[in-house]
Chains A and B, each alone.
Chain A
Amino acid sequence: MKSLLITDFFNIYRGEWLKTRKTLAFWMTILFPFFCTILVSLKFLGDKQIPTEPWPMFMKQVNNVMSFFLPFFLILLVSFTTQIEYKNHGWKQLYSQPVPRLSIFLGKYLMILTLLVVSVLFALIIISGLAPIVQLIRPGLNFTGTSFDYITFVRLFTHTILGGVFIMTLQYWFCIRLRGFMAPIITGVFFTIIPIAYVMILGIAGLLKKGKEILKVFEYDPYSYPFSTTFRIMPADNAPSPIIPDILQLHLGIALAILILAAIDNHFRKVYA
């Protein structure tokens, strides 16, 4: 039974790969890091100061921009991936196959996680390709004279991927439960915008400098965790932070619990399609 579940799980995953190609979700996976890297490239071209170590700075800034937009990216990515089934009446085809329902549930989840990882891998390719072009336009930037800092890349982007798992898991459950396209997006965007709006209000009221402890609360909110780390990851003293800080461990633990709950919920559904 266990081996059947695993075999079927990989077969479902293969099927997910085949159907995800040429979809909006797949193109978004490429366009998201491209868009973020272009933004940072434009900033580098406009900056007066020229960093002596351009690679880590470039990577950090791409990572910051990606982290900031990550909740929106994930909300759309999960919705587009599940929408493939809703739009094409695919759920009834999937759930009438002789495979365990858990394999179907986890196969699609793993596909979305894979797309998140693919997005980061594309970021690596795009950063490596765009940075020398930026140097061509602004010769003072010494990208080609210094080595690519892989360790910094892995540290930063592993944190970004893991920071997105909680949002991804919640959105996945929403998409399966709410069954539509707009409802999970609206729910996700609402949860993302609320903390941003709160920070803006604090800023306008002049409470932001005094409110570091208030801001820390956002680290517990999955939707604002990537956003909050955007500020934390760029500290003035440039102090390195651990790849998986305690708070992220907590997020991952809760994400796993939500995934298990969602799988149980899926198992006990009365109507699959």
Chain B
Amino acid sequence: MNQVKNVIRIDNLSFGYRNKQVLDSICLDVPEGSIFGFLGPNGAGKTTTIKILLGLLKVDDGHVSLFEKDINTHRIEGLKSTGAMVEDPSLYEHLNARENLKINCAIRKISTTRIEEVLLQVGLTADAHRKVRNYSSGMKQRLALAQALLPSPKLLMLDEPINGLDPAGIIEIRNLLLDLNQNHGITVFLSSHILPEIEKLCSHVAVINKRNILYQGSMNGLLNTGINGARLIVETDQPVKTKELLSRLYPVEVSGDHKIIVILSDRNEAKDVAKHLVDAGIGILLLQPETHELEASFLELLKDN
């Protein structure tokens, strides 16, 4: 049986700055081939964790490995197959995009032919001659992503990669990350505050708050944990009868726009709801899970903590 390899493995990691403890014995496994979302409120320790993974902070206590290589003793080997973007983009603003990428090519011994490839991937070819200081924050974000893609990494570590992007840019980056993951087998580890995006992108997720990991596992697992149940929006041709019927079977709410929301303990119960309605001769106009389920689960997790 093939066992899934973890490209990132964190075991009992603790870290603190002087008098402030930031991480407290956290454990994290990022499976190969996943798009792994790392969620948490500001100051929860997301960026600190990413910095430790990149060797920018030295570990106080615990073990951290990239591609099964300990980051303390085999930092260079671990980072060879990694592309990263941490916090604000690291770009030399007095240079243009090509010159910025050329510096990375020089340092990492990468062929300069990769420059045009990554510029095309992030949609910056037309603006590559312009100085970075004249870029919008979204363009800087794309160029930072191009930097991360330059070494053709097996693992992409991205800290808030869609910050500053407009809606079209968010969709482009989302599609790019999905393409890199699905067609090129790149594992993506990303932190973000934009929960609907995480929900659309990620196969796996971890939630960190107050120095501890509250949840880690598959995205479906988090959505199905029944922390707050799944919420199903129901719209039919007979709203009164629908409400009467469903309220006998499930907890039911009525939204501001008179839609019926059925609270399920398990997402799989949605098919039972449909069956009950059909059996009662009610015409179904809409049956869909309420959006921002991740948001609800995330907030519920933080509340419990």
Contacts and interface: CB of A to CB of B under 8 A. Distances in A.
Interface of A: 4, 7-8, 11-12, 14-15, 18-19, 21-23, 84, 87-90, 92-100, 269-273
A93 B76 contact: no
B57 A270 contact: yes
Nearest to A268: B58
A270 B92 CA distance: 25
Contacts of B80: 98
Interface in B122-150: 147
Contacts of A272: 55-57
A89 B51 contact: no
Contact of A19 (B54, B82, B103): B103
B285 interface: no
A14 B93 CA distance: 18
14 contacts: A8-B107, A12-B107, A19-B95, A19-B103, A89-B87, A90-B90, A92-B54, A93-B147, A94-B107, A97-B104, A98-B76, A98-B79, A271-B56, A271-B57
Nearest to B99: A18
A225 to B, nearest CB: 33
B262 interface: no
Contacts of A12: 107
B59 to A, nearest CB: 9
A14 B84 contact: no
A89 B75 CA distance: 21
Interface of B: 17, 51, 54-58, 75-80, 82, 84, 86-95, 99, 102-104, 106-109, 147
Contacts of B102: 18
Contact of B92 (A7, A88, A96): A88
Nearest to B77: A98
Nearest to B131: A22
Given A15-B103, A96-B79, A99-B107, A88 B90 contact: yes
Contact of A100 (B76, B91, B106): B76
Name which of A21, A90, A92, A95 has the most chain B CB atoms within 10 A of its CB: A92
Given A15-B107, A18-B106, A95 B55 contact: yes
Contacts of B51: 92, 273
A262 B93 CA distance: 28
A100 B78 CA distance: 13
A96 B107 contact: no
Name which of A21, A22, A90, A273 has the most chain B CB atoms within 10 A of its CB: A273
Given A11-B106, A89-B91, 9 more contacts: A22-B95, A89-B87, A92-B54, A92-B90, A93-B147, A97-B107, A271-B17, A272-B56, A273-B51
Contacts of A93: 90, 104, 147
B89 A273 contact: no
A19 B92 contact: yes
Contacts of A7: 109
Nearest to B91: A88
A22 B94 contact: yes
A77 to B, nearest CB: 16
A19 B77 CA distance: 26
B106 A14 contact: yes
B151 to A, nearest CB: 8
Nearest to B94: A22
